[in-house]
Amino acid sequence: MSGLESYINHTVSIITADGRNFIGTLKGFDQTINIIIDECHERVFSTTSGIEQIVLGLHIIRGDNIAVIGLIDDTVDSRLDLANIRGEPLGPVVH
């Protein structure tokens, strides 16, 4: 069984091959790691201002484009002060 099974219906962070970070609830996946993310947000990092959250809604992300899927601890995540976190945006995956 894939290790992703235990992430179902939990909040996950997806780092995509183009360097974006999506947060949302994992609703499903398949053998190619295409995933369903419900209530998806994108977090845009910047060095000059806080993290910007963009609400996107329901997404299917193709497995080809996924680099990392991480489990998010909701209690820790809700304590983050996103407006005051600065960071360089990730670059895309280089092949």
Partner 1 sequence: MLPLSLLKTAQSHPMLVELKNGETYNGHLVSCDSWMNINLRDVICTSKDGDRFWRMPECFIRGSTIKYLRIPDEVIDMVKEDAQAKSRNRAEMNKNRGGNSSQNQNQRAPRSGNRNSFGIRSGPSGGGLGNGGMRAGNSGQGNRPPMQGNKLRK
Which C-beta is closer to partner 1: that of 83 or that of 93?
A: 93
Q: How far is the CB of 60 from partner 1 (least distance, A)?
A: 4
Residue 14 forms beta bridges with which residues? 22, 69
Which C-beta is closer to partner 1: that of 18 or that of 73?
A: 18
Which C-beta is closer to partner 1: that of 70 or that of 85?
A: 70
In the complex, the residues that contact partner 1 under the rule CB under 8 A are 16, 18, 27-30, 34-36, 38, 56-62, 64-65
Distances, alpha carbon 89 to alpha carbons 6, 10, 28, 33, 35, in Å: 29, 25, 27, 24, 23
User: Which residue, 93, 88, 95, 70, is CA-closest to 16?
Assistant: 93
